[in-house]
Homo-oligomer: A and B are copies of this chain.
Amino acid sequence: MSAPSNAISIGLSAAIVAVEREQPSVLVVSHEGAEDALPFGPFDPVHHRTLELGLRKWVGEQTRFDLGYTEQLYTFGDLGRHRTSQGRDPGTRVVSVGYLALTRQVREAPNTQWRGWYHYFPWEDWRETKPAMIDDVIVPALRKFARAAASPDIAEQRRERINICFGEGWDEERVLERYELLYEAGLVEEFHRDGGAGRDNDAGNPRLGTAMMFDHRRILATAIARLRGKLKYRPVVFELMAPTFTLLELQRVVEALAGLRLHKQNFRRLVNEQGLVEGTGKFSTPARGRPAELFRFRREVLRERPAPGVRLGARRNRMT
């Protein structure tokens, strides 16, 4: 065991998000035998004037990508959560600053690929139905985790968290909260890899979703949560859209991100009345059905309304 060092390194990671064929996707770097990773690199205080500039440089080198919209998410510094399937923590302590970036391009560079984010969070996609794994696997395993608590007090707290995260009334924004609960309960691979076994959860647990390197899945969870929240009060979806689009295409992208179905008629009423889009007079040429008008984003709303966004309306599964 090496002596603890007091050196610090700052890791910059980006969850770069695009939506392709109704799948919200992240750009991951994959090497043979290793877990998927977000594009990342260390912050270099000599050459990087700001954290964000450092991030842009790293991402550019690793993925030949020119970041557009970016937003800082969170800074994680937890000891022991910066490992890989290969081995231990690096000698110096890594503090990890996560970013969210949005893009419409889906080019791939060597060693990078786009992957649907629901690979990593299969329980977060409620567009078709409530994912069966929640009732079949997650809730029972979490209940077991609650029962295994050291005291009745802690057990009760755990039950409360389970209820908030997976109980009645799905709050699509609690992505990070849910991931952290699953982590603590030993239901994701990272927990065991990080050396968490042997607390009050055994090794026979299911491992949900696809694991990622370091704390990258935690960063991705933060990214999804932030994006799902921001959607409702800032017009960020349009960063993910082509210059013109039909209202249904827009709706599908919002639904993909939120992991929910929306009421079609109300959705168009909303975006229209909020002045988020304007018609172009041109029309799509669909394989079937009536052609839809092509719309574009009205940049002016940023000036007009205080907090324009795509408020999520209903949450039905079948639309008429």
A interface residues with partner B (beta carbon < 8 Å): 4-10, 43-46, 48-51, 54, 72, 74-79, 92-93, 95, 97, 160, 163-164, 169, 171, 302-303, 306-307
Contacts and interface: CB of A to CB of B under 8 A. Distances in A.
A59 to B, nearest CB: 16
Contact of A7 (B45, B164, B303, B306): B45
A4 B46 contact: yes
Nearest to A52: B77
Contacts of A303: 160, 163-164
Contacts of A51: 75-78, 95
Contact of A75 (B45, B72, B164, B171): B72
Query: How many identical chains are in the complex?
Result: 2
B49 A8 contact: no
B6 A8 contact: no
Contact of A77 (B50, B78, B163, B307): B50
Nearest to A169: B306
Given A72-B74, A75-B75, A163-B303, A8 B171 contact: no
Contact of A43 (B8, B49, B78): B8
Contacts of A95: 10, 43, 51
A79 B50 contact: yes
Nearest to A77: B51
Contacts of A171: 306-307
A43 B6 contact: no
A63 B306 CA distance: 39
A44 B6 CA distance: 7
Given A51-B77, A171-B307, 13 more contacts: A4-B46, A6-B44, A8-B8, A8-B43, A8-B45, A10-B95, A48-B77, A49-B79, A50-B79, A51-B78, A54-B77, A72-B75, A75-B75
Contacts of A92: 45
A9 B6 contact: no
A218 to B, nearest CB: 13
Contacts of A54: 77
